[in-house]
Amino acid sequence: MNSFIAEFRLVVSALLLILFTSCTAFHQTVQVSSSDALPVSQAESVVRQAYSQMKGRQHDNLIVYVHGRGDGRTMAKSNTKIIPRLESDYTAEVVSFHWNAAKGFAGLGYPEDNARAAAPDFARLVAAVRKVSQENEAWKKVRITLLFHSLGAVVAEEFARTTQGLPDSLFSNVVLSSPSVTAREHATWVSKLAPNRLYVLLNPNDPVLRWAAKEKLSAMLGQRLADITGKHFKTDPRVTYIDLDNLKEGHRSFQPKSKRGHELWLSLLNGLPPALRSTEREPALGAKVYKVENDR
């Protein structure tokens, strides 16, 4: 009987903890690499730290990373599985924007509203990067890539819809990786994300995006540029769309398994234009859509 009561109290305590953490306010944070996260109000200091430690760490470019679903009130997944790889694979310093990407019981919901609520704080980070990048002549030469992954694309969408958008020359590349945001009206907002430098990575067989499409009852931008009937969505002709289907990469395609995928991401995340062959171009949609072949 005593053991039953003890177990019951343990379960109740766990449920109360979940309820408390889901109801308390969450504030977006920023961090350099895997260091301690700081409030967005200190974004300038965080970006300054990233630039300052580049030389000592032999990093030659900067990635501003906006994560997807799964990183709830801590950056545990990004800090252990994503940021260290971004640093080592692309010799980059990483500034992460952390938003509350968990919802529902055990964080298994679809936190689209949380992503939209994070947009004003993301705008503050963009302003900090813009200011700090001009403080030092050497820093002005650093290539900066802005990487939105998965549901992080909703942060990008809301930012684009509610602000003047990105400064055209601040980021060398802007990348939407497996964007878990509806495709139907994306042309109305990607135009404000420096479209001449914007790359949208498509992965039609991505299981995570299939789940998201069922949640939203609509095709995700990271899946395809048409609905289930084959009707094409409007695209922006200045944006470069890249179809990775032949590479058979996973949801985090910036951690590639294929040689061709590695070459592609090495350019994208170093702020350089990727080598895309003209024979891969599919002009049917009125946009630059490249179907990348896997050279084995």
Q: Buried b / exposed e across 39-53, counting CB within 10 Å, b at 16+?
A: ebeebbebbbbbbee
pLDDT recorded at residue 26: 58
pTM equals 0.88
Distance CA 65, CA 78 (A): 10
pLDDT recorded at residue 22: 44
Count of CB atoms situated within 10 Å of the CB of 203: 25
Distance CA 178, CA 12 (A): 38
CATH architecture of the domain with range 27-291 = 3-Layer(aba) Sandwich (3.40)
What residues form DSSP beta bridges with 69? none
Tell which residue, 65, 8, 67, has the closest CA to residue 33.
65
Domain ranges of the chain: 27-291
pLDDT tens by residue, the chain, 296 residues: 555 555 545 444 444 334 434 444 557 898 887 678 889 999 999 999 999 998 788 788 999 999 998 755 556 778 888 999 999 999 999 999 999 887 655 445 678 999 999 999 999 999 999 999 999 999 999 999 999 999 999 999 999 999 999 998 999 999 999 999 999 999 999 999 999 999 999 999 999 999 999 989 999 999 999 887 888 899 999 999 999 999 999 999 999 999 999 999 999 999 999 998 765 555 566 677 898 988 75
> Quick one: 176 exposed, middle or buried, by C-beta within 10 A (0-12, 13-18, 19+)?
buried
pLDDT recorded at residue 288: 78
CB 121 within 8 A of CB 108: no
Per-residue DSSP letter, 238: T
Q: How many residues does the chain have?
A: 296
Helix (H), strand (E) counts: the chain: 12, 9
